[in-house]
Structure 1
Amino acid sequence: MRFELDSGLSSLQGRRARNEDFAGVQAPAAHEAERGWVAALADGVSGAEPGQGEGLMAAQTSVMSLLRDFHAVPADWDSSVALDRLLGHQNAWLAAYNRRPGADGRPREALTTLTALALRGRRYALAHVGDSRAWLLRGGECLLLTQDHRMERRDFAGLTRALGLDDALRLDHSAGELKVGDRLLLTSDGVHGVLPARQIAALLRATPGAQAAADALTAAALAAGGHDNATALVLDILGLADPGMADLAALGEALPSPGPLAVGAVLDGYQVTALVADNGVHRLLQASELATGRLVALKMLHAGRADDPQERAMLAHEIWLGLRLADAPRHRRRAGSPGFVRVHAPAEGASHFYAVFDWHAGRTLEQLLAQGPLEASQVIALGGALAQALSLLHAAGIVHRDIKPANLHLGDDGQWRLLDLGVALSPRAPAALRELHAGTPSYINPEQWQDPPLPADAGSDLFALGVTLYQALTGRLPYGEVEPYQLARYRRDPVAVSRLQPSVPVPLERLVLRAVAREAKARFETADELQLALERLAARDQVTPPRPVRAAADPAVPWQIALAISVLLNLLLVYWLVALPH
């Protein structure tokens, strides 16, 4: 789903010598869509000398720097944090500028109000200082979102807070949920200082189109006798993207977890058809969507963990990862190789907090290996599909951390899929997940067991995939069952694949042994490199012939060889005695 927004901006000078208002909207680039939109309106404060123009400079630089830098902050920053830090830096610059006297020796007054909105996922974040304002029109009701920082007395009227006024900036912050059809409005005091709130609301309701509404507001302000600059920025929410991490975290905090659900129970339009798994932390259920009849998988917290805020945050992160992968660039995928199970965004009005996945009939690799090792061609196909999935994960800055046969699924459609992103790391992972030493010991690379341990990274996933391929070919683990910190297991190389399965082709054996090498520098560096090596194996007209299998040794053969050597020596001796001259 894409975030769709229509914006309109109108700024009229009025009777002032110059227009010191400044406003703008910045859309994210295609590869930054998840970071959302940002909009801001600033109203420069006129100095004692009308010709100085420092208020306009303050307004322009404040809005332009915010719009320019908002999409460059770290991806794991919350929108409110990004607004606070960027505006804090701008305030420090303006305050330092104002401490230095101008060229004519007069004090500088580069001050401005500013109201900013960040629209991300399905939420907005608001930062505000001064007496510009933000409004929200929803369902016909117009709500003022800000409070003016202004003191009004008989003998004094002025701002108590503004950018550049003090070294320490105090911003008002708020946040809320977005809905399709919302209309957001930013105004300078040249609009709301002249028009009453009821007239602003009436114009917002009556005027279709964001640009037309902005024009109507500023025109009405001047027509009502306004002398100040009049600026209005209107934002119409036409479509919402899938929920972001902040949206999902908020849902995880607000909604209860489902209680025990028996077969036949109904939850938000899903009827439970089977209990699939229960590991004490999560419960996985198969369910049928009543409206369509399609099967889905429902993942929810176990009753004993339902009130654990850390587990809720981790489940929210898993849903967010699934939605993010669904929107990954399509050029990173191959036709017919999705690599992951699709996750669905929580439905609007959901009564409980849980994850919904597509259901795929089939079996896990663990279930397949219970019947014996796989053929070489099957392992090549498995490795290629999973290396491709890991390439997509790692390009998105995600480390799976739990690659193993139980998390690899072969669907009835013939596609391999990587399951369970519950312990995966990303730049937005909650603190509890970062601190968790996750994974299954026998599949964890030795670098994570050394002292001090190295954190899991993309190489950890590649090592775990190598262990899985070795196991798929031989039915055994390359280093046996490993217990935590049992580094002795890694003091000798794994048994050659061909000793356990002589039919395995030589190139495939070399590839797998390289993937599970004891030293990290000897392994594949990236998932793309591993995928390319597997594709080269798969692309051959026929797999390299296996080593010839020797027949069982005949116990009489050594005696026959010894007899032949003895006869040959005797013949040479006779020839020497008879034929050679004495």
Structure 2
Amino acid sequence: MRPSGGLRIASGWSSERGRRPANEDYAGIYLPGAGELARHGAVAAVADGVGSAKGGRVAAELTVRTFMDGYYAQPDTIGVPAAGARAMNGVNQWLRAQGKADAALQGMATTFTAAILRGRRAHVLHVGDSRAYHYSNGRLVRLTSDHVLPQPDLRHVLYRAVGIEDLIRLDHASVELAVHDRLLLVSDGVHGALDDRQIAALLAARGNAETDARRITAAALAAGSQDNASAVLIDILDLPAPDHDIITAGMAHLPIEAPPSAGDNVDGFRLEQLLADGRYARVFRAVDSQNGSDVVVKFPKPAVLAEPAMREAFVREALIGVRVASPFVGQVLAAGEERQGRLYTVMPFYRGETLADRLKKTGFIPLRQGLKIAVQLTRAVVALHRLGIIHRDIKPENVIVTEDGGLRLVDLGVARLPRIEDAPGADIPGTPGYMAPEIYDGNRGDEQTDQFALGVTLARLFGGGFPYGEAEAFSRPRFGKLRPPSASRDDLPAWLDDVIARAVAVAPADRFGDAVEMLRALEGGPAIVSASPSRFRPLIERDPLRFWQIMSLLLAMALIISIASHV
């Protein structure tokens, strides 16, 4: 299930003195009201005051508190990293000044690690040797690097922290969130005693956030930690649905460059094989060097479309890919704001072939296999229509039949989205031969035009040809006599002809009420022929005119024989 509500989290924290005479750690969590939450997000932080300096606890607490005040005072339009840097610069300058002016606080300094949850991402701002972790799907990833000297006996010595340098340098990392993810912030009293495997095991217990935070600090002390042990744990309960504005903002700064070639490496994606080189985009099978997975990367061709139109097409595909929860619709993967340096989209690599390639080899698909594909494809259309999304270019070239018997409907760059209209004067998307009659009269695409294209695709799936003949690219087709798929083969049941004929009816009112009704017809119809999938259809079903011509000839011959015998 895709997340659909606003940001909701559960949080807990624990901070233990341990074997130290005083606790110089400080942890804090702030969850504002709904309006502020949407604009700035929620903030959690851990700070570990430098124990060898005076005022370590004062530095830790004031840094966390003052940072939160300063962050929420920044305009939300400048982005999380910039807002956090502005807030922390003020904190750093104040600490430096206090350390010089007050002998009791001389040299005060602290580590600092904050997680800011805004929208569907978590931003981590970090300096020092506290740590932030992201736990998702059983996998623990550390999001920070320790700013300590590399020598084994000097790893307790910080070279970067709040209050050490005149100009603070904050590391920034961000990660896409999913429901049920966990974020963990800890001081070095925890990670110095527990390795990543032990931390992952504690997070896998999946207690409530407060209980698990306490279990983590207790485990660190039990393992022999000599320092204060602090942990802040955040569970992601729900996330705001990705919307057009969020994705547009994320892609707005990305340049549109000339498409690369096979063998190139783009942002860590090694382009292995050219899959398609179309008019508007170039598509490659690639390997993601970060995790070794096979992906598909799609690059725009900037010379073909104006930049706004090209960018909008990629925004649409990205939005639909992350919002539609269907095993029959192609997904889009987030490359990451810090990683992606140009405009492209990344999708999983679905092993298989397009339905168009399958039809080129076989002409049409056997009945049982074809019925399975037809039902899966119709379910993909139902999933889109339930969210008000119109595909507008359903055709065999945009259907991937996977090796494991699955199916994915892809190429969503021309889809029509709710409350987002096409640019004035934009061409009506679609492919001749699959476009419903009303599109030629100005319809911009709706559920009925998608149903027509789906019906044409099924006609080709079962019969190989187009129900009204193949259309020329620049002429209005004639929607004359319908040629049913059974005209090309003898094993198709009459009900399947009827389903396809209704889907491609010239008048929208004569088609199915919606894709769900069409799906029910496809799923219920096979029961008629399940006992004999290769049933021979009699001539009266396949060609009634020829049947009665033959019957008339036989009757005439019988009459002649009868007359001759009486004579």
What's the CA shift for 1:511? 0.9
Give the Cα–Cα distance (whole angstroms) in 2 for the partners of residues 288 and 178 of structure 1: 30
1:356: Cα distance to partner? 0.6
Change (3 A) 1:441 1:570: closer
- Partner of residue 319, structure 2: 320
Q: Is residue 467 of structure 2 the alignment partner of residue 470 of structure 1?
A: no
- Is contact 1:137-1:143 (8 Å) kept? no
Preserved CA contact (<8 Å) 1:298 1:356: yes
Partner of 1:416: 407
Q: How does 1:379-394 map to 2 (within 5 A)?
A: 379-394=370-385
Partner residue in 2 for 1:517: 505
Identity of aligned residues (%): 28
2:279 alignment counterpart: 280
Provide, for residues 187-217 of structure 1, a one-character-per-residue CA deviation record: whole Å limited to 9, x for no partner: xxxxxxxxxx969xx9xx999999xxxxxxx
C-alpha deviation, 1:430, in angstroms: 6.3
- Secondary structure of residue in 1 paired with 2:357: helix
CA distance in 1 between partners of 2:562 and 2:113 (Å) = 113
1:365 aligns with 2:355: yes
Q: Secondary structure at the match of 1:248?
A: helix
Is 1:537–1:543's contact at 8 Å kept on the other side of the alignment? no
TM-score after normalising by structure 2: 0.57
**Structure 1: which amino acid aligns with 2:514?**
T
TM-fit CA distance, 1:471: 1.5
Structure-1 residue corresponding to 2:298:
299
Shift of residue 307, structure 1, vs aligned partner: 7.6
Opposite residue 344 of structure 2, the aligned amino acid is Y
Q: Which residues of structure 2 form unaligned runs of 5+?
A: 12-30, 44-62, 88-92, 99-110, 117-232
Aligned to 1:214: none
1:352 matched to which residue of 2?
342
The residue number in structure 2 matching 1:265 is 264
What is the aligned partner in structure 2 of residue 73 from structure 1? Answer: none
Pick from 447, 450, 453: which aligns with 1:461?
450
Question: Which is worse superposed, 367-376 or 478-487?
Answer: 478-487
Matched, 1:376 2:373: no
Matched residue, 2:199: none
Give the letter aligned to residue 177 of structure 1. G
1:20 corresponds to: none
1:90-109 equivalence runs, <5 A: none
Q: CA deviation at 1:246?
A: 2.6
Change (3 A) 1:319 1:549: same
CA contact (8 A) 1:280 1:304 kept: no
SS at match of 1:315: helix
Distance 1:121 1:280 in 2: 44
Mapped partners of 2:526, 2:425: distance in 1: 37
Instruction: State the alpha-carbon separation in 2 of the partners of residues 489 and 253 from structure 1.
Output: 42
> Distance between the aligned counterparts of 2:438 and 2:553, measured in 1?
53
Which residue identity does 1:568 align to in structure 2?
Answer: S
The SS at the match of 1:449 is helix
Quote the Cα distance in structure 1 between the aligned partners of 2:400 and 2:64.
48
- 1:117-136 equivalence runs, <5 A: 118=39
Partner AA of 2:343 in structure 1: F
- Quick one: distance in 1 between partners of 2:9 and 2:561? 101
CA-CA distance at 1:501 after TM superposition: 2.1
Give the Cα–Cα distance (whole angstroms) in 1 for the partners of residues 41 and 431 of structure 2: 36
Alignment TM-score, normalising by the size of structure 1 = 0.56
Residues 449-506 of structure 1: CA distance to partner in whole angstroms, max 9, x if unpaired? 13xx22310111111000111112221111112347855612x331233333232111
- Provide the C-alpha distance between the structure 1 equivalents of 2:42 and 2:513, rounded to a whole number of angstroms: 34
Determine if contact 1:423/1:433 at 8 Å carries over to the other structure.
no
Out of 430, 434, 437, the position equivalent to 1:446 is: 437
SS at match of 2:384: helix
> Aligned residue for 1:489?
478
SS at match of 1:402: coil
Deviates more, 1:256-265 or 1:349-358: 256-265
Kept in 2, the 8 Å contact 1:444–1:460? The answer is yes
Q: CA RMSD in A?
A: 4.8
Q: Match for residue 38 of structure 1?
A: 35
Cα distance change of structure 1 residues 242 and 383 upon mapping to structure 2, 3 Å threshold:
same
Task: Give, in angstroms, the shift of residue 145 of structure 1.
Answer: 6.4
Secondary structure of 1:414's aligned partner: coil
Counterparts of 1:322 and 1:377 in 2: how far apart (Å)? Answer: 29
Amino acid at match of 1:569: I
Distance 1:238 1:389, change over 3 A: same
Take 1:510 and 1:459, find their aligned partners in 2: how far apart are those partners? 17
Q: Report the AA paired with residue 464 of structure 1.
A: A
Which residue does the alignment assign to 2:493?
Answer: 505
- Separation in structure 2 between the aligned mates of residue 138 and residue 281 of structure 1, nearest angstrom: 51
Q: Pick closer, same or farther for the CA change 1:486–1:446 going to 2, 3 Å.
A: farther
Secondary structure (helix, strand or coil) at the match of 1:443 reads: coil
Q: Distance in 2 between matches of 1:433 and 1:144?
A: 41
Q: Shift of the alpha carbon at 1:427?
A: 2.4
| 1:286 partner SS | strand
Q: Verify the 8 A CA contact 1:5 1:237 in the aligned structure 2.
A: no
Would you say the 8 A contact 1:514–1:523 is kept in 2?
yes
When residues 433 and 145 of structure 1 are mapped into structure 2, their CA distance, relative to the original with a 3 A threshold, is farther
Q: SS at 1:423's partner residue?
A: coil
Q: Is the Cα–Cα contact under 8 Å of residues 32 and 42 in structure 2 kept in the other structure?
A: no
Structure 1 spans left out of the alignment, 5+ residues? 9-23, 27-36, 41-116, 123-135, 148-172, 186-196, 211-235, 574-582
Q: Secondary structure at the match of 1:381?
A: helix
| Aligned residue identity for 2:531 | Q
Give the CA deviation at 1:268.
2.0
Corresponding residue SS for 1:507: helix
